[in-house]
Structure 1
Amino acid sequence: MKPNYELCTVRELEDICEHIDKDKYPERYQDVLKALSARREKEAIWYADNHPDDETFLFPRRSNKMKIITSIPLLIFTAVCIYFGAIPWRYREELITSENDPILFWFLIILFLAAGIGQILTIKPKNEKSKT
């Protein structure tokens, strides 16, 4: 009785390829290779059909509203940290201040500002209707 490799996943077929005795079962080994190739091709076609723009799938486009919603709290938090001169840190007992760790303090402030301003700079203006 021959095993039905059509029901196996890619991982299972790869596992079978690694552990099958190629000398004892050369026909089965070839069947597994054919099934693995067919399964990978099916998955590639499915992926291409369902994800036509790979970049959009990996990095979904965010709306201007979402960019504003995420950047404003970050910029407010940064302003509060600058005003009080301290950044709360979860894994430290003391606050990060410009007195006790100035390099880390200003590095984090610049990082927060860059992230918030970077979000705002990527906002695209709405297209104006063409006048005829």
Structure 2
Amino acid sequence: MNPDYTKYTLVELYDVKDNIDKECYPERYDLLLNEIRKREKNPENKPEPRKLINKKDKAYLKIFLMFLCIPFFSWQLINAYKYGVIHSKNDHVLHLNSDPIGFYVVVLIHASCLVIALNTVFKGLSAK
């Protein structure tokens, strides 16, 4: 059974050409060379590259990732409210008493990220 070289991209065809055993598979090699010649003469007829993730799976992945972000940002904001402490980049701890502006900026950033994550999840779930 011969592979269907019409579904391969030109780069993949060249790769197969470099790695095929011409002596064991002379028929496949001839088919491969014919397909390469055909593609080189008509470059506009090349097939679309294969996509690893389709749009539906991409949407589900996005919802899943946002769903994972919700507990993190919620926990950070709850701790900021209860203890007056929030963590920022590089494990830097901001205290409400010592640096209120920095504290509120990071709280605002975390709250914005939480709202975006919630919006993404609920919008994605309602569309399904």
Q: Which has the higher helix share?
A: 2
Question: TM (normalized to structure 1)?
Answer: 0.46
Question: TM (normalized to structure 2)?
Answer: 0.47
Name the structure, 1 or 2, with higher relative contact order (CA <8 Å, separation 6+): 2
